[in-house]
Amino acid sequence: MDSQAEFSKRKLWGGRFTGTTDPLMHKFNASINFTKTLYKVDVRQSIAYSKALAKAGILTDAEAKEMERGLKIVEQEWDEGQFDIKADDEDIFTANERRLSEIIGTGIGGKIHTGRSRNDQTATDARLWLIDQIKDIKTYLIDLISVMTNRAEKEVDALMPGYTHLQKAQPVRWSHWLLSHAHALLNDLERLCQLVPRISVLPLGAGAMAGNPYELDRAFLAKELGFQSVGQNSMHMVFDRDFVMEFLQWSSLLTNHFSRLAEDLIIYSSGEFGFVQLSDAYSTGSSIMPQKKNPDSLELLRGKSGRVFGQMAGLMMSMKGIPTTYNKDMQEDKEPMFNCASTVQDCIRIAEGVIATLDINPEKMRAALTEDMLATDLADYLVRKGVPFRTTHHISGRAVALAEQEKKSLSELTFEQYYSLSDKFEKDVHGVFDFESSVEKRNAIGGPSRKGIATQVEYLRTALSKV
């Protein structure tokens, strides 16, 4: 019979091998330094598995309870930073099983791996861990969108230029700009919720790849662990990492949206614009120029998108050519998943802090509005007089050219000058040149009018209440 000391030195796969592993190969192969992140879900999974083994008659109820006791001690040691990682602990699965047997003895502890492979174990733990992370990410996203929505409702009076091609286009409300990014994030939130059913599929019971021979009740396991469904093909379950790649793809899109939000705010906070000012809490100074206030929080948000995308692309390249079923290449899924989930959560919380604490400068926003931005309104004026839009567009363009030629604003052109361009102009034409009126006319659903902002706010709040 193996002694406890001999058992603790064995690798889970070591019976086939008589030689020792090259120390560099052991280090190259080991994943304990990052898979230890899974310690809590691995304990959850092992406790559930011990109950399923008892249900299948492999363990007695007493043995299952003893396993649960031992596993909770293992978890407590990790929680308190007291878990002693040994040199032969390749990964969290090896480490936890080794420590369990040290606590309750190999006679019972050695049974925990019956019918279970690290292949279905790691796939199960990864899914459990990611589901937990998504719960936090959802909460943070809801908080961020709520902050944006509340600001938009309160600051509806502020008018600013809207841009296309980074050129002044038409007047809008600051609230409309802010809500444009809130809607993008709402789409991200909805996509994240749609991922969950594809992640919440139980692999445990798939074994190494050919299933479990002990009449294991996998429906019981799914319920015990909170999975929405049970994987229907054992080979697919141990091989599938689509859920990780899909999460990384989702994260790439989210951080892309943050990058665009950050870019806008970096521009708007510059001295040339001065539309917003970041809180000191989310800015830094220059090591040489004392007058500088740098938007480092926003630049980091913009920069993180590249790293997240790189992690997604890297894993997809690792997965693209490997054969069915489990291969060690798939160990490359954990680090990007862990890092990406952490990065995304930090990005959301930093973005919320930035948005919640920045100050806006409505006077500078309004001062940036120029009457040439109302050229479309001038064309719309003639449309309401029955002139086809293509014709009014041309006439409005001629008015802009005339104003430039005479070095005047559009409102400074006389009625007679407008009448010379079209006899459809009447003496009320100068009423066009009102920025508030221009914005308020755009009151169809999705527009920047006060009514439009109120509708968007209600829409976003209703959507968040349903998530």
Options 279, 286, 342, 420, the catalytic residue: 286
Q: What is the C-alpha to C-alpha distance for residues 283 and 14, in angstroms, rounded to an integer?
A: 54
Options 3, 165, 287, 465, the catalytic residue: 165
**Residue 165 falls in the annotated catalytic set:** yes
Question: Which sign does the torsion angle of CA 362, 365, 368, 370 carry?
Answer: negative
84 touches 74 (CB < 8 A): no
Residue type, 318: S
H or E stretch including 162?
Answer: strand 159-164
Instruction: Report the phi/psi class of residue 359: left, alpha or beta, with left for phi > 0 and alpha for psi in -120 to 50.
Output: beta
Percentages (nearest 5) of helix, strand, coil residues in the chain = 65, 5, 30
Residue type, 121: Q
Pick the closest to residue 170 from 179, 180, 161 (CA basis). 161
DSSP E strand boundaries for 165-281: 167-173, 201-202, 229-230, 276-277
What single string gives the DSSP state of each residue in 379-418? HHHHHTTT--HHHHHHHHHHHHHHHHHTT--GGGS-HHHH
278 touches 354 (CB < 8 A): yes
Q: Helix H segments across 105-173?
A: 106-109, 118-154
In the chain, count H helices and then E strands.
Answer: 20, 6
Active site positions, annotated: 165, 286
